[in-house]
Amino acid sequence: MTDKVLNFVEFYSQHLAVPARRNMSEPGVKRGEMLFEQSGCVSCHRPTIKTAVRADRQALSQQTIHPYTDLLLHDMGEGLADNRSEFVANGREWRTPPLWGLGYTEEVNGHTSFLHDGRARNELEAVLWHGGEAETSKQRVLKMSKQERDDLVAFLKSL
Ligand code: HEC
């Protein structure tokens, strides 16, 4: 990254915080968080990352952040494939999007369209499009009761 870009990132990390989580102590949200872990969502949507040591960039150095992403590419199966390769990603691979701030999507963007092409109309639809490496996680969601699915969505909306 050029210094200009880094200065910009540093400015924003100091002056614009990630939106705070909401309703964290609600029982449904807590149950949803457990289901998120138990369903293996955390293997890609990693809750916690610690940034590397940057002696020259104190504001970005060794920060513990909760982005709910591993920043990696994953094969998400035929359903999400666009069969167009871009840079190192083949046509079935997508980078895990961060889920922090997801609950503000409607307020900020005026819609709740998710996934790379906006095809999912809400959080649950986004999950049900998961395939490939995330197939097992999706199967677990399909086996959930309605209450459990509602809790999972309540957790996602709390981010
Ligand atoms: C194998 C890695 C992997 C696993 C496991 C996984 N995801 Fe994802 N998730 C992704 C990727 C990659 C995308 C983006 C796909 C796309 O854009 O087409 C995504 C997208 C999403 C989105 C839409 C976010 C947005 O901004 O568009 C939600 C919501 C989501 N995942 C929730 C979950 C939940 C809940 C689980 C567990 C049941 C889960 N994911 C399991 C990799 C994963």
pLDDT lower than 70: segments of the chain: 1-2, 5-6, 8-16
Question: Any residues with Cβ below 6 Å from ligand 1, and which?
Answer: 36, 39-41, 43-45, 74, 76, 80, 94, 96-97, 114-116, 123, 126-127, 130, 133-134, 137, 141, 156
- Name the token pair of 130: 């998961």
Neighbour count for residue 57 (Cβ, 10 Å): 15
Neighbour count for residue 59 (Cβ, 10 Å): 14
Instruction: Dump pLDDT digits (tens) for 119-143.
Output: 999 999 999 999 999 999 999 999 9
Instruction: Dump pLDDT digits (tens) for 29-38.
Output: 999 999 999 9
d(CA 38, CA 144): 12
Residues 6+ apart with CB under 8 A from 47: 66, 68
